[in-house]
Amino acid sequence: MSLVKNISGGPLDVPLLGRMVEDGETVEVPDVQGDGESPIVWPGNRWAPVTQKVAPEKAAKAAAEKAAE
């Protein structure tokens, strides 16, 4: 699993995650497709790789806010 940040300037519908990812939001995504081998390419004009993990308390807060919507 990897972290990517939406840098597109707006929300993106991500069927792989089953939800919308807001501009500036960082999400955890799989590195490979369902076949377990083919890599997933996240377009550089919409996604930026994140090397720093999101703090657990921030991740929990974000998840709670999404669940409340």
Q: Tell me: pLDDT of 54 over 60.
A: no
Residue-level pLDDT at 48: 95
Average pLDDT over residues 20-30: 95
> How confident is the prediction for the chain on average, in pLDDT?
87
Q: How many domains does the chain have?
A: 1
Per the structure, the complete domain to which residue 7 belongs is given by: 2-68
Q: Tell me: pLDDT of 51 over 80.
A: yes
Q: Tell me: pLDDT of 47 over 80.
A: yes
Are 57 and 12 within 8 A, CB to CB? no
C-alpha span between 34 and 18 (Å, rounded): 15
Percent of the chain with pLDDT over 70: 86
CB under 8 Å to 52, separation ≥6 — which residues?
3
Give the residue among 49, 7, 9 at the shortest CA–CA distance from 29: 49
